[in-house]
Structure formats: structure tokens, C-alpha cells
């Protein structure tokens, strides 16, 4: 997994791994979750990939738009 840049220094996201049709995110205190094109959907996953790469806004996006709609808890 790749370390999340966390440019605001206050994110709950620690690391992420991008695949073709999914993103796996490791949170500071809640484990790892996989999000894919089926759940929560392609547009959300692609935005999460963009934010993960940018290192800013990923946890906020998940909290505001995705919430508990993950494909799998790992």
C-alpha cells in the first residue's frame, strides 16, 4: 500500500492501494476497506483515486459521499 500524503495532517486515512476497478483504503483506527465499481460505484471510486493521489480530501469525501457503502472490509 502507498502512504497517504495527508497534506492537512488531520486525516483518518493512512494508506491506499489503487487497482483498475477499485481502491483499498487503510484508516488510522478502523482497518482496511475496499471500494469498487459495484459498491459504491465507478464515479465515487474514480474520485477517491484522484483524491488519494492528490493527498488531500479523501477522508472528507468518504464521510460526505460514500459513508458505509464499501464493497468489503478486509
pLDDT digits (tens, 9 = 90+) for 15-52: 999 999 999 999 988 799 999 999 999 999 999 999 99
Query: Whole-model pTM?
Result: 0.92
pLDDT tops 90 at residue 10: no
Domain count along the chain: 1
Q: Which residue range(s) make up the domain with 63?
A: 2-73
Of residues 10, 19, 73, 8, the one with CA closest to residue 48: 19
Alpha carbon separation from 27 to 13, 39 (Å, rounded): 4, 18
Cis peptide before 40 (omega within 30 of 0): yes
Amino acid at each position: 500500500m502507498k502512504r497517504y500524503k495527508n497534506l492537512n495532517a488531520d486525516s483518518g486515512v493512512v494508506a491506499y492501494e489503487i487497482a483498475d476497478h477499485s481502491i483499498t483504503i487503510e484508516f488510522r483506527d478502523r482497518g482496511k476497506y475496499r471500494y469498487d465499481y459495484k459498491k459504491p460505484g465507478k464515479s465515487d471510486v474514480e474520485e477517491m483515486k484522484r483524491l488519494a493521489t492528490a493527498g488531500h480530501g479523501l477522508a472528507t469525501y468518504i464521510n460526505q459521499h460514500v459513508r458505509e457503502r464499501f464493497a468489503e472490509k478486509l
